[in-house]
Amino acid sequence: MNNKECTENLIGNSYQTIDLTPLGINLRDKTGKEILIECFLKSGLRTTIRELFEVIYVYCKQTNQTEKLKQTDWFHFIRLLRNATAHDFRFVFQKKDIEILPITWNEKTITKKMNQSHVTLHLFSYQDCWKIINEIERFVNEIE
């Protein structure tokens, strides 16, 4: 397949052609490839954190277990991360957030000074994502 080849997707009753040339060019370039891989991995983190938080929060709210959830050592940490993923991985603290900071989980700390800054993989890595998933799984297995 060369750069000029395209894929066609059926949308309704018409076809739309998608030019994959820019993707092919970026994948051949080392820097472009690294950027694409980072974007792909970040999208996985974003989806994991957002969906995981929303599902557990809604369940706890519907079963009157929100207080149990808020008492975990990871709740506010993941809540602030979830909010950051909704703002292009940038912390945007509200007044209620600033009042509870700093928040530490797994030796990682979110501070007031981080307002308007981007979440880095140093603060929350892919390995940290697995750790928090495991902690949330333990919590889910313990609640009613």
Instruction: Name the pLDDT band for 110 (thresholds 50, 70, 90).
Output: very high
Q: At what angle do helices 126-142 and 75-85 cross, to 10 degrees?
A: 130
Arithmetic mean of pLDDT, 110-133: 91
* Highest averaged pLDDT of the listed ranges 7-21, 80-94, 118-132: 80-94
pLDDT of 13 over the 70 cut: no
Give the number of other CB atoms < 10 A from CB of residue 38.
Answer: 11
Contact 21, 4 (CB under 8 A): yes
The yes-or-no verdict on residue 59 having pLDDT over 70 is yes
Span 68-94, average pLDDT = 94
Give the integer Cα–Cα distance in Å for 92 and 78.
Answer: 14
Asked whether the predicted pLDDT for residue 29 surpasses 90, the reply is no
Across the range 23-39, mean pLDDT stands at 85
* pTM: predicted TM-score of the whole model, two decimal places: 0.75
